[in-house]
Amino acid sequence: MIQLVNTGIPDELLERVKKVCSDIYKLREDGFKESNPTVKALARLVEQEGEGLAMKKIEDMDWEDVFTLQDDLPWPSNPPAFKETMMEYRRELKKLAEKLLGVMEELLGLEEGHIRKVFTNDGDFEPFYGTKDDRFGGLQMLPNHGGGGRWVDVQPVENAIVVNTGDQIEVLSNGRFKSAWHRILATRDGNRRSIASFYNPARMANIAPVIPTASGDADYPSFKFGDYMEVYVKQKFQAKEPRFEALATK
């Protein structure tokens, strides 16, 4: 996980992105309070406490409100500047992601465009998780993933883009680039805003190690990205190793 500054994305655009994202949440607050599963779970806890019942700990809950944008779904027309601003931001992020792919290909000794070719598989694709992080902080990562260790705070850097290379790049690079296990902690100091973008492979893309170890072995399974996503939604709150094990048996 890295924080990138001087990305070429104008600060003025980043400020507009933050503004329109805040504006759209204000417009949908009432409906969110009635339908959001996190709010419903909190309401149940309050009811149990008021009735003197033993409150059951809620496991595997995303304490967040998520608003997802995809090409095949309608985009909001209000606030008026939302779609135009977010499309401009998306174009800039895509250029940044492709620059990072080029650097990775060079470091891995791959020909230019190799990773992009693997990820597209003649399909539409959007391998990075990039987020415009919030000034309130709360992001943590576990450096020694799967081997114990302590969660470490990732201090926000103004107008930086936080990049996590993700499981697909870890597999493709045969572990040269590691995906980071991360989480967000709630804060009492204000509402945290993360504007996350996923640069994913096509669902039918074949993900497999292209960089062998010194012994010539591959340390990771091969799989289609669509199969990975089916496993991921069932094991979202687990470490990545069980996901790889499940895919190895498919």
> One-letter amino acid identity for 53?
L
Judgement on whether residues 115 and 166 belong to the same structural domain of the protein: yes
| CB neighbour list of residue 180: distance below 8 Å, 6 or more residues apart | 1, 141, 142, 143, 145, 164, 165
What is residue 54's predicted lDDT score, i.e. its pLDDT? 54
Judgement on whether residues 113 and 48 belong to the same structural domain of the protein: no
Weakest-pLDDT range from 96-105, 119-128, 210-219, 226-235:
119-128
Please tell me the distance from the alpha carbon of residue 58 to that of residue 61, in angstroms, as a whole number.
Answer: 7
Please tell me the distance from the alpha carbon of residue 243 to that of residue 12, in angstroms, as a whole number.
Answer: 40
126 pLDDT tier (thresholds 50, 70, 90): very low
Does residue 71 lie in a domain region? no
86: buried, middle or exposed (CB in 10 Å: 19+, 13-18, 0-12)? Answer: buried
What is residue 112's predicted lDDT score, i.e. its pLDDT? 92
Judgement on whether residues 48 and 147 belong to the same structural domain of the protein: no
pTM exceeds 0.75, yes or no:
yes
- In CATH, what number is assigned to the domain containing residue 144? 2.60.120.330
pLDDT average, residue stretch 219-247 = 85
Judgement on whether residues 231 and 115 belong to the same structural domain of the protein: yes
Judgement on whether residues 22 and 39 belong to the same structural domain of the protein: no
Does residue 55 lie in a domain region? yes
More confident of the two residues 6 and 185: 6
Judgement on whether residues 60 and 80 belong to the same structural domain of the protein: no
Judgement on whether residues 10 and 50 belong to the same structural domain of the protein: no
Judgement on whether residues 191 and 92 belong to the same structural domain of the protein: yes
1 pLDDT tier (thresholds 50, 70, 90): confident
Judgement on whether residues 159 and 215 belong to the same structural domain of the protein: yes
CA dihedral 209, 214, 217, 219 (to 10 degrees): -60
What is residue 57's three-state secondary structure? coil
Judgement on whether residues 37 and 90 belong to the same structural domain of the protein: no
Question: What are the distances in angstroms from CA 190 to CA 10, 117, 193?
Answer: 26, 42, 10
Judgement on whether residues 99 and 215 belong to the same structural domain of the protein: yes
Its domain, for residue 61, covers 29-66
Residue 16, pLDDT above cutoff 90: yes
Q: Count structural domains, the chain.
A: 2
